[in-house]
Amino acid sequence: MSEILKCISQKPGCGRHKANCAAIEDLPVAYMELDAEGVVIYANPAAQRMHDPALGELIGQKVWNLLPEAERESSRLAFEALMRLGGEPPVIRRSVYTTVGEYRTYEVHRNLMRDSEGKPSGVRTVSFDVTEAAWANEEAHQARLWLESVLESVSDAVIVMDALGFVRYLNPAAEALSGWTFAELKGMVIEKGLPLLSYYSADSSELSFRIAIDRPSNGVAVLLDRNRNELKAEISTSPIVDKEKGYTIGVVSVLRPAKDCTC
């Protein structure tokens, strides 16, 4: 039986101060105790509220039965290993079906309970609902992956610079065209990496980073690639404007090898 339950029910044997047990009962986050077999032996009211009664009584359940099918076996094996080997259990994330009718993600902080010989006799857990944070993190990761994949799939060379002209990104087509790898060119001032020898545009305008950050431009440029060979390319540059604040935050250039021209 859980020490907390013993304590609350005034039975002798509780090693804790009664006030501590009462505080655990009042915790706004879920607190549970599991025995060495992974059976829930105590759940405070917050944990009880999390649990859907349709899944049966929480006390007495094997904890991995509360998890989605895909996570059960790996969770059980990890728990058994923890009981066998001891050691400080790491923070984990688990999906649990809750009373709101959906699986939510919990960050579970644990420590071991030990018997009089110091052997692991169970686990105490405190769980925090991190569903929204996990979801936002995953969304951001996926959005970033998506945009990177899009840029990497563009057949034209794309080079992105920050507002000071330091290279922040180039796609594989730009690597192939310039001879630079992303790792090499990242953080380099664009004029150093790809010096501009000459530029021609239909409206006879010039091209410099200062101009590129100010307005879009299209033309044909002669640049020097990584091996300092001349590279003739059609080039389009445009300021990158932050959608929310309207600030200019950099410049994007798109290059493709020029067809024969008289520039």
Partner 1 sequence: MLLRPASDRIKANPIGLGAISANADRCLTLLIDGAALNMPELDTESYREFRANVSKLSLQTPDRLPEEEKMALIRNVLREFEKYRGGFESELRERAAGWRTLVVSMFRELLANLSMNPSSPVVHPLTQQIARMVTAEEIEGLRGMLEEFLHPGGDGGRNSRLSPLKTADRTTANDNAAGLRGGGAAVEHLARVMEQGRHGFVVLFQLGCLDMICERFGIEAVQDCLMAVSAYLTHTLRRDDAIFHWSDSTLLAIVLDRPTEQILTAELERIASQNRDITINVGGRVVMLRIPLGFELIPIERLTSASDINRLSGHRVVKW
Chain positions contacting partner 1, by CB under 8 A: 162-165, 189, 209-210, 213-214, 239, 242, 245-249
Q: State the Cα–Cα distance between residues 107 and 128, nearest whole angstrom.
A: 5
Q: How far is the CB of 114 from partner 1 (least distance, A)?
A: 34
Asked if residues 158 and 169 have their Cβ atoms less than 8 Å apart, the reply is: yes
Nearer to partner 1, 245 or 259 (CB): 245
Q: How far is the CB of 175 from partner 1 (least distance, A)?
A: 24
Asked if residues 191 and 199 have their Cβ atoms less than 8 Å apart, the reply is: no
Check the CA dihedral 107-113-119-121 and report its sign.
negative
Tokens of 93: 């994330």
DSSP characters for 191-203?
A: HHHS-EEEEE-TT
Nearer to partner 1, 213 or 221 (CB): 213
Q: How far is the CB of 189 from partner 1 (least distance, A)?
A: 7
Nearer to partner 1, 165 or 219 (CB): 165
Count of beta carbons in the 10 Å neighbourhood of residue 82 = 19
Nearer to partner 1, 243 or 259 (CB): 243
Nearer to partner 1, 13 or 246 (CB): 246
Nearer to partner 1, 130 or 249 (CB): 249
Q: 66-73: long-range contacts at Cβ-Cβ below 8 A with a sequence spacing of 24 or more? A: 66/96, 66/97, 67/94, 67/95, 67/96, 68/95, 68/97, 68/103, 71/95
Q: How far is the CB of 245 from partner 1 (least distance, A)?
A: 8
3-class DSSP state of 259: coil
Q: What does residue 199 show for φ and ψ, rounded to 5 degrees?
A: -150, 140
Q: How far is the CB of 209 from partner 1 (least distance, A)?
A: 7
Bridge partners (DSSP) of residue 35 are 122
Q: How far is the CB of 162 from partner 1 (least distance, A)?
A: 7
